[in-house]
Each structure stands twice: as C-alpha cells, then as structure tokens.
Amino acid sequence: MKVKKHWRNIKFSFLLSLTKLIYYLLFLYTKTLRFRMENIEHVFAYMERGPVILLNWHQRIFGGFLVPRRQGLAVPIMISQSRDGEFIASIVQHAGFIPVRGSSTRGGMKALRELIRVVKKHRIAIHIVDGPTGPPQIVKAGGISLAQLAGGFLCPVFVAYEKYWVFNSWDRFMIPKPFSTVVMRFDDHFEEVSHDLEDKEFEELRKKIEERMIQGYKIMDDYPFS
C-alpha cells in the first residue's frame, strides 16, 4: 500500500509539473474557436458599483476559460481542496484566474473569507453554482452568500456551443468542437443581494436564480448560430 501511494504521489507531482504545458495546449485549442460575447459591457458597468459574481453551471465552464485574458481581468474562483482541484487550480491560474482553495465540505469557511477578500479587491468572481460534484443544475448557497458578504451583484452567464462533445460525467460536461462558435451571454438582469436576508428570503432568492438559469439555458440552447 505504501509503495502504491508513493508511486501515486510521484505520478501526481509529474502531472503538476505539466500544468503550464497543458494550459498552452488548451490555449492553442481555443484559438480554433470563434468567441462571441454579449452584454459584457454590463459587467464592467456594474463593477463600478460593487463586486460582480458571475454564475454558471459546471457543465459549461470550458467556455469561460479565456475570459480573464481576453478581458484583461484577474478573476477569483473557488476550487476544491482535492487533488483534482489542485491540478485544475494550477492550470487555470495560467489563464488569469485566482484560485481560492475550498468547498462546502472541505475548508469552506476559511476559503469563503479569503474569497471575499480577493473579490472585494478585484470586484469580480466566477462561481460554479452546482459544483464541484452536483447535483447538476441545482443552485447551491455559496454564490449568494459570497455576493451577500462581499456586497455585490449576481449575474448568470449563459454559454452555448455551436458543435460540441458531451462527456459521460455527472454534469454531462461539454467541450466545443474545433472551428465552432462559442457564445457567452451575460444576463441583462443583475441581482443585488441584501446583507440582512432572512432564511426564507435567502431560499426564495436561491430558487429565483436557479429558475432564471434553467430558463435562460433553455433559450440559449436554441441559439441561432447560422
């Protein structure tokens, strides 16, 4: 058992050493894609008023890979403390994200405090509302709590791929095919979150955001690419 664990550690360390290379390979891959952003100007306008928390499903996060670099932003994101999370964090930091390690099950409160600090500094963050392990398309409380404590706004983000592959994972993760179009639409409604929400109001807001994202994606999945 100790030998197997030792070799697993060596293998993982080797993979970590390749994260910069993996980032550049992904970067080159995204160069084959055509990106279209809608309503991005609304995000910058609201950032003048307070931090903006961008919300997305885990299934479509690949579409946001180049947002920080393309827009000249440093974007905080919470990533789990698992080994997979460490690997992902090492890659996305090359893309301009600021990974804060933690989740609802491991290091949650400490990570949330750190995330609040960096969100207030950079005035933006992205939050995967149904991550890291689902259930899919169920908005968890973290994004709303972040906006509440950072004094910010919630903005759902809708991503559509012209052509894509679907993985057999819990979230049916999607990757756009080469030379296809990726559309990222930032919602035109930003939800300001009050500091003093009662439990009932918090749950009503959570359900409101969840329904808005579900309905928004139903519309986005019929996006007229042609």
Greater model confidence, 90 or 12:
90
The percentage of the chain sitting over the pLDDT mark of 90, rounded to a whole number, equals 70
Cα–Cα distance, 18 to 87 (Å, whole number):
10
Q: What is the pLDDT of residue 1?
A: 58
- Contact criterion met (CB below 8 Å) for 52 and 124: yes
User: Exposed, middle or buried, 41 (CB in 10 Å: 0-12/13-18/19+)?
Assistant: exposed
From 17-26, 81-90, 130-139, the region with the lowest mean pLDDT: 81-90
Q: Calculate mean pLDDT across residues 215-219.
A: 96
Element (H, E) at 104: none
Per-residue pLDDT at 11 exceeds 80: no
Cα–Cα distance, 157 to 38 (Å, whole number):
10
At 118-149, the pLDDT tens digits run 999 999 999 999 978 889 999 999 899 999 99
Q: Calculate mean pLDDT across residues 44-59.
A: 96
Q: Calculate mean pLDDT across residues 113-120.
A: 92
Q: What does residue 71 show for φ and ψ, rounded to 5 degrees? A: -105, 0
User: Please, which residues have CB within 8 angstroms of residue 187's CB and are 6 or more apart in sequence?
Assistant: 39, 155, 156, 157, 158, 212, 216
Per-residue pLDDT at 17 exceeds 80: no
Domains, the chain, in order of start with CATH, read 2-220 (3.40.1130)
Q: What is the pLDDT of residue 155?
A: 98
Mean pLDDT over each residue of the chain, to the nearest integer: 90
Cα–Cα distance, 152 to 146 (Å, whole number):
8
Which one-letter amino acid corresponds to residue 107?
Answer: G
Cα–Cα distance, 193 to 161 (Å, whole number):
30
pTM: 0.90
Q: Calculate mean pLDDT across residues 33-47.
A: 95
Q: Calculate mean pLDDT across residues 102-125.
A: 82
Cα–Cα distance, 149 to 193 (Å, whole number):
9
Tell me whether the omega of the peptide bond preceding residue 132 falls within 30 degrees of 0, making it cis: yes
Greater model confidence, 78 or 66:
78
Both structure tokens of 78: 């919470």
